[in-house]
């Protein structure tokens, strides 16, 4: 069984961060978002992966993922010239998939549940598909599934005003080769896209079984900045602390992961917190729920519920909370005692009294 990871979208809702890098490479819990999906597929036993890339994501993703060997998989790349929907992305991969069954995963999604059980459910089905579902409080924001009395999916509706259920369609699907013909029959939606939900509905209308896989753990679609921070907290909740880097005169509590080559000096750290290689904090309070990227610096500041990307700096900030600082950005407080929330893109600079 092959895997197909969709990573062609430009991530306009995550600007300013996606002006300079694909959303799939934004860090959550110390790793790029797409790393979690690749690792989950590998853990499920899927070793051949096609990654669908677009004009803006092609180069950066090839550089980051390379041939997949560091994940224990073989990666090939499929080019999608325009972002015309998920079903269109599947059609772009027709040659790569070569009529084989495959696991479709959205590269900006994070799931707590392992994917192995879903793969096994698919293998047990005959000429059927399996789609991941999650009960949500706001189903009108998603594609929604309606089930019959036997528990099979009988209808999919995209962002309905009156949802038939609270079961949102999650970005994980297991398909047989028949989905390709279904995608070819899809017509553009009101958004001008070829929707995968329409293709799945076509399978249902043809009498092919579509089975639900209900997720038990959390699911995060990292489409907006607040979703990144929520995902960061979910990932860090599973962190196991390892203070391998240098800690000098520090008070550590909870799960605190200090990578080799990182340094904390005279800091109070309340986990979960992850500190990447080369990061440095001095005279500061960190946590909870803080991710410091490589070479990030925090001096005489309090940082909580925040992500500081590679080379970002916070200096003399009273309290930086629910913030994302892009690569090499700087927040300078000059001793201010104010609590601030910031979204700074790469190379941004803000200074306040």
**Parts of the chain belonging to CATH 2.160.10.10:** 239-351
- What kind of fold does domain 2-223 have according to CATH? Spore Coat Polysaccharide Biosynthesis Protein SpsA; Chain A (3.90.550)
Instruction: Write down the pLDDT at residue 103.
Output: 97
Strand partners, 274: 257, 291
Contacting residues for 104 by C-beta, under 8 A, at least 6 apart = 3, 4, 6, 86, 90, 172, 173, 174, 175, 196
Strand partners, 211: 130
Instruction: Write down the pLDDT at residue 335.
Output: 76
Reading phi first (left if > 0) and then psi (alpha if -120 to 50, else beta), residue 128 is in: beta
The arithmetic mean of pLDDT across residues 167-181, rounded, is: 94
Look at residue 116 and tell me whether its pLDDT is greater than 90: yes
- What's the whole-model pTM score? 0.92
| CA distances (Å), origin 85, targets 29, 52, 100, 181, 198 | 28, 12, 21, 16, 11
Residue 228 tokens, joined: 């990144």
**Parts of the chain belonging to CATH 3.90.550.10:** 2-223
Give how far the C-alpha of residue 284 lies from the chain's centroid of Cα atoms, to the nearest Å.
Answer: 29
Question: Which H, E and C letters describe 155-178, residue by residue?
Answer: EEEECCCCCCCCEEEEEEEEECCH
Q: Any idea which residue has 């907290």 for tokens?
A: 233
What distance in Å separates the CA atoms of residue 317 and residue 324, rounded to the nearest whole number?
14
Instruction: Write down the pLDDT at residue 125.
Output: 81
Contact in structure between 169 and 133 (CB atoms under 8 Å):
yes
| CA distances (Å), origin 70, targets 114, 144, 335 | 20, 36, 43
298-316: pLDDT as tens digits? 999 999 999 999 999 999 9
Residue 124 has φ and ψ, to the nearest 5°, of -75, -20
Instruction: Write down the pLDDT at residue 82.
Output: 86
The arithmetic mean of pLDDT across residues 307-328, rounded, is: 96
Q: Are strands 313-315 and 280-282 parallel, antiparallel or unpaired?
A: unpaired
What distance in Å separates the CA atoms of residue 88 and residue 90, rounded to the nearest whole number?
5
What distance in Å separates the CA atoms of residue 13 and residue 338, rounded to the nearest whole number?
28
- Above pLDDT 70, what percent of the chain? 100
Instruction: Write down the pLDDT at residue 50.
Output: 97
Instruction: Write down the pLDDT at residue 262.
Output: 95
205-262: pLDDT as tens digits? 998 989 999 999 999 888 888 999 999 999 999 988 777 888 999 999 999 999 999 9
- Above pLDDT 90, what percent of the chain? 74
What distance in Å separates the CA atoms of residue 351 and residue 334, rounded to the nearest whole number?
8
CATH of range 239-351; options 2.40.110.10, 2.160.10.10, 1.10.1060.10, 3.10.290.10: 2.160.10.10
């Amino acid at each position: 069984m092959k895997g197909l990871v969709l990573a062609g979208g430009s991530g306009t809702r995550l600007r300013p961060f996606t002006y300079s890098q694909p959303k799939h490479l934004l860090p959550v819990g110390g790793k790029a978002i797409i790393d979690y999906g690749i690792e989950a597929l590998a853990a499920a036993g899927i070793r051949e992966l096609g990654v669908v890339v677009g004009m803006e994501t092609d180069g950066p993703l090839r550089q980051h993922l390379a041939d997949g060997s560091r994940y224990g998989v073989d990666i090939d790349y499929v080019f999608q010239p325009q972002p015309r929907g998920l079903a269109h992305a599947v059609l772009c991969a027709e040659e790569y998939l070569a009529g084989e069954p495959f696991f479709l995963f959205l590269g900006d999604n994070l799931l707590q549940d392992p994917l192995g059980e879903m793969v096994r459910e698919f293998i047990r089905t005959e000429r059927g598909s399996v789609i991941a579902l999650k009960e949500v409080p706001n189903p009108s924001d998603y594609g929604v599934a309606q089930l019959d009395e036997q528990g099979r999916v009988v209808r999919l509706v995209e962002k309905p005003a009156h949802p038939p259920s609270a079961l949102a369609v999650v970005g994980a699907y297991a398909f047989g080769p028949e989905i390709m013909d279904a995608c070819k029959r899809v017509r553009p939606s009101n958004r001008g896209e070829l929707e995968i939900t329409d293709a799945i509905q076509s399978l249902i209308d043809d009498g092919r079984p579509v089975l639900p896989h209900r997720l038990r753990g959390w699911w995060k679609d990292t489409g907006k900045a607040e979703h990144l921070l929520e995902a960061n907290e979910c990932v860090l909740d599973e962190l196991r602390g390892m203070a391998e880097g240098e800690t000098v005169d520090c008070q550590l509590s909870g799960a605190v992961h200090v990578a080799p080559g990182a340094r904390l000096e005279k800091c109070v750290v309340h986990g979960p917190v992850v500190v990447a290689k080369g990061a440095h904090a001095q005279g500061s309070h960190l946590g909870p729920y803080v991710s410091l990227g490589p070479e990030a610096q925090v001096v005489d500041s309090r940082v909580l519920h925040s992500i500081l990307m590679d080379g970002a700096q916070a200096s003399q900030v009273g309290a930086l909370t629910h913030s994302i600082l892009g690569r090499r950005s700087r927040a300078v407080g000059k001793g201010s005692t104010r609590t601030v929330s910031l979204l700074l893109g790469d190379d941004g600079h803000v200074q306040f009294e």
